[in-house]
Chains A and B, each alone.
Chain A
Amino acid sequence: MSTHDHNARVPLAFLLPGARAQVNALGDEIDATQREQILAYGLAPGRPVTVLQQHPMTLVMVDEVELALESSVARHVWVTRR
């Protein structure tokens, strides 16, 4: 994960609206129950996401579902840009 090209992973919270990305990993800061919940919502490693907006909260589209994540969580969802 130490590559520094534009494929480097970034937190989901840092992407601009409209950006498309692929989930890379869920950081260890996210507790076990919430991790399960996020996985169940479909925000799992390898899955494509589209960022819809970042304020007041991170809003993403996964498959056909809109998910809202507080930025304290979205900061620990690592993605690579597509």
Chain B
Amino acid sequence: MILSCTVNKKPVRLECEPGEALADVLRAAGYKEVKKACGTGNCGLCTILLDEVPVASCSIFAARAEGRAITTIQGLKKEAEELGAYIAAEGAEQCGYCSPGFVLTALAMEREFRAQGMGRFDELAARHYLAGNLCRCSGYQGHMRALKKYWEARNG
């Protein structure tokens, strides 16, 4: 089938099989920023935003994206760069393979937390929100330090 949707605000038509994982379709179409590590929904590396909501693109079939808006990390360049600067300054990322999915989920989290009116950064809530974003290198501590500083700089 031809999947019509937008990727990072650009209308695209992607050749695919309806049951293919959206992650595979996006990678094949050149969106290499969508990583894949487990293929079973456990690691969060393949996270994209589908109509602004984070979903595991390995666990959603391509046809489901018909007519909808996909955002990859490349579609949130500015925000990713801002949060990315904190992550880099903290030395929080190692191999970086998990970073695009992590940053995208963290940005979605920021929006949700703000909408809920969170004031001080709630680390436990953040750990819970991001629990599905696995990282085997970093031990997570640096991620959390970076997020706290980022949050405080922007919402403090």
Q: Is chain B found bound to chain A in the same assembly? A: no
The residues of B with any CB-CB pair to A shorter than 8 Å are none
